[in-house]
Amino acid sequence: MSLFAPNVNSYRRISRHSSAPINVHWGYDNRTAGLRVPMSGPEARRVENRVGGADANPYLAIAASLACGYLGMVEGLRPSEPIAGSAYDLAIALPRNLGRGVAPAARVQAAGGLVRRSFVLAYTAVKEAEYETFAQVISSWERGAPALERLAGAAFIGLALSPGRRLRYKADMGPDAPRI
């Protein structure tokens, strides 16, 4: 997955109803599925891999797609039934962060000789280091969220301990309003 979503922010798009797939099901002319087979004649038939984002290296993403298709044919894998309806109604099956996206790559056993082990080791080491660096950063949202929770908790406690008081908006708070 990390070849299709190579950065920490790549995973933000993997959410329901975001025009990005949330799993790797396939379907005919289905834009909610990870793999889409557009309606066409046999001479123009193709499979679109919709999992990769705009930030993916196109050479690596195409190579990974072709390797997976090739290995599936060599191993005689049969496709599942095509999905009808929205794939967003199914469970999210793709990783939601770079740490989980890199983990399966670290377990790859040279993908049938198509990928050198040295590439897998180097690529996963770089991506794991990127994710660890990202995980050490506390975002402004994370810094603000606990303050909002404390504020909401204090307001709730103040209201619960003060019978007869109603929740007030900042505009109508007077001198007798509970202070937090």
Q: Are 48 and 104 found together in one domain?
A: yes
Domain around 146: 140-172
- Quote the pTM value: 0.71
Q: List pLDDT tens digits, range 93-139.
A: 999 989 888 887 766 665 667 778 888 888 889 999 999 999 898 88
Per the domain annotation, does 178 fall within a domain? no
The predicted structure's pLDDT at residue 158: 53
Residue 1 lies in a domain: no
Residue with tokens 């705009």: 54
Provide the pLDDT confidence category of residue 153 given band limits of 50, 70 and 90.
low
Domain contains 85: yes
Same domain, 82 and 155: no
Say if residue 39 is in the same domain as residue 60: yes
Average predicted confidence (pLDDT) for the chain: 81
Residue 28 DSSP label = E
Residues 150 and 71 in one domain: no
In the chain, the number of structural domains is 2
Provide the pLDDT for residue 140.
Answer: 79
51, 89: one domain: yes
Whether 179 is covered by a domain: the verdict is: no
Tell me the pLDDT tens digit for each residue of 51-99: 999 999 999 999 989 988 888 898 899 999 999 999 999 999 999 989 8
Long-range residue pairs from 111-114, CB within 8 A, at least 24 positions apart, any chain: 111/67, 111/71, 112/67, 112/70, 112/71, 112/74, 114/67, 114/70, 114/71
pLDDT at 162 over 70: no
Q: Does 3 fall in a domain?
A: no
2 lies in some domain: no
Residue 126 CB-half CA count within 13 A:
9
